[in-house]
Amino acid sequence: MTVSQQRIEVTLAGQKITLATSAEHEPLLRAACVLVDEQIQLAIGGGNRSIERASMMAALKIAGDLITLQKNQTQQSTSSHVSSDEVARLHAEIRGLEEQVDTLMQTLSLPGSPRPIVP
C-alpha cells in the first residue's frame, strides 16, 4: 500500500517552510511545528539572537522534556509492577473463594424446603 504524500506549509521562527507528509500524519506534524516554533520564540525572547542558536536551545528543551517524561513513565511502570509471587498468591486466594462459593451454593436451600442444590 502506497501512502499518498502531500505538501503542507508551516512557519518556524518566522520562516515559511514546505514539508511533505501523509494526510494521516499531518495533524501530528502541524502540532509538532507549533510546539517547536513556540520553543524557538521563547529562546529568541530569552536573548538568543541567532535563529540557529534559538533552534538548538528549543531542541534541547524539547529533548529534555521528552527524557523527563520517559523517566517518569519508567518509574511509574516499575513502581506499579506486581511480582509473580503476588499474582500467584492472588490466584490461589481467588480459587479458595470460588471453592467456598461452590460449597455454599451446593448447600443453599429455599425457605420451607431445605435441600441441597445438586449440580
pLDDT in tens, 45-103: 988 888 999 999 999 999 999 999 999 888 777 666 777 888 888 888 888 888 787 77
pLDDT of residue 10: 95
Whether pTM > 0.85 for this model: the answer is: no
Interhelix angle for 51-79 vs 26-45, to 10°? 120
Question: How many alpha carbons lie under 13 Å from residue 10 in its C-beta half-sphere?
Answer: 20
Among 36, 37, 8, smallest CA distance to 21 is for 8
Residue matched to cell numbers 517524561: 69
Please calculate the CA angle 83-87-88 and round it to the nearest 5 degrees. 115
